[in-house]
Amino acid sequence: MTALTDVSSQAAAGARWRISEVVFWLLALACAFLFPSRYLIMTDIVRLGLFALSLDLILGYAGIVSLGHAAFFGVGAYSAGLLALHGIINEPVIALVAAGLVAAVLGFLTSFLVIRGVDLTRLMVTLGIALLLEALAERFSDVTGGSDGLQGIEMQPILGLFAFDMFGKTGFFYSLIVLFILFLLARRIVYSPFGLSLRAIRNNPLRAAAIGVPVNRRLVAVYTLAAFYAGIAGALFTQTSALASLDVFAFERSADLMLVLVIGGTGYLYGGLIGAVVFKMLQEFFQSLTPQYWLFWIGLVLVVIVLVGRARIHRSVLFVPNLIIRQFVGRKAVVVPESDAS
């Protein structure tokens, strides 16, 4: 192989689909048929996964920390709610995109405040923006319904064909398809030169600028994109649950999102999705165990994860599957912890 073809194939290697990725999505699809009684929680997971994917785009790729990502989730949720409630856009998919765009506009406008400064400033600014929006939503209760939330949202069938049903089946498939499409888009973006420049900025903004990367412009772009994703996640929330209340802006929502990424890991796109599954299942499990004190256990798990290290946990969890794979297929580990991958 000549050096040139070698370089070309190596440069494109990152973007190639791995078997583990295909398996992941097949499993996600299989869940839809394996657990027909659990659509509501699975929809919840899908939505949280999309929301976490949004945070991963800015945190895992561009290194922007945020404690106020619920701001965009909330704006998306209320936009979708208001559009449906007042019959402005009746078709859910168009309303979904519109709600995402509203959130993106907000993301674009606030990005200039966020990209300045260091991590701590960013944490405070993002937190502040989310609190501001929550207070505004409460103040203008004639529009938002205040603490009662938006009442009486009625969703029209998706594309005029698929009506939302009371078991949440339509809602689940709708959410899963939206997640998959947005995941494909995100995957495309992170393996592009644009995505590479984000990783360079996260690694070393000084050097990124010194090779000609317009650092601020790229950060504004990805922040706006992440806001769009979060807005879509929020709009899905409203559309699949037919309600939007003040808690879409809640600090806990932003904080939970951080936990999801701590559990799943950042910077490889699947962290948010895997984290969302684990987080929700832990939540379910602990809630059924001790309805009152489940937060205690989540907290404990979080501390353990941070102290023991995610890579080590991944490796031990993946030990048995990899052993089987090696035995039967005779190749090296197919599933690798995120820290060892790429």
Partner 1 sequence: MTIALETQGLEKSFGGLRVTRDLSLKVTRGARHALIGPNGAGKTTVINQLTGVLRPNSGRILLEGSDITGLSVHKRVLRGLSRTFQINQLYADLTPLETIGLAVSERMGRGGDWWRRMGTRDDVNAEITEILSRFHLLDAMSELTSTLPYGKQRLLEIAVAIAAKPRVLLLDEPAAGVPESERHDILAAVAALPRDVTVLLIEHDMDLVFSFADRISVLVNGGLLTEGAPDEVARDPQVRAVYLGEAADA
Which residues sit at the interface with partner 1, rule CB under 8 A?
Answer: 3-4, 6-15, 188-189, 191-197, 199-200, 203-204, 206-207, 209-215, 217-218, 221
Least Cβ distance, residue 269 to partner 1 (angstroms)? 15
The residue among 9 and 316 lying less far from partner 1, judged by its C-beta, is 9
Least Cβ distance, residue 340 to partner 1 (angstroms)? 11
The residue among 212 and 291 lying less far from partner 1, judged by its C-beta, is 212
The residue among 242 and 341 lying less far from partner 1, judged by its C-beta, is 341
| Angle in degrees, CA 129, 130, 136, rounded to 5 | 90
CA atoms within 13 A on the CB side of 288: 5
Least Cβ distance, residue 130 to partner 1 (angstroms)? 27
Location of structure tokens 């050097």: 207
H helix runs in the chain, sequence order: 3-13, 19-34, 39-56, 70-85, 92-114, 119-139, 141-144, 169-190, 193-203, 205-210, 215-241, 251-264, 270-289, 294-308, 310-317, 319-329
The residue among 147 and 192 lying less far from partner 1, judged by its C-beta, is 192
Least Cβ distance, residue 64 to partner 1 (angstroms)? 16
For residue 191, what are the β-bridge partners? none
Answer yes or no: are the C-beta atoms of 150 and 243 closer than 8 Å.
yes
The residue among 52 and 208 lying less far from partner 1, judged by its C-beta, is 208
Least Cβ distance, residue 201 to partner 1 (angstroms)? 9
The residue among 169 and 199 lying less far from partner 1, judged by its C-beta, is 199
Cα–Cα distance, 176 to 293 (Å, whole number): 31
Least Cβ distance, residue 337 to partner 1 (angstroms)? 15
Cα–Cα distance, 99 to 94 (Å, whole number): 9
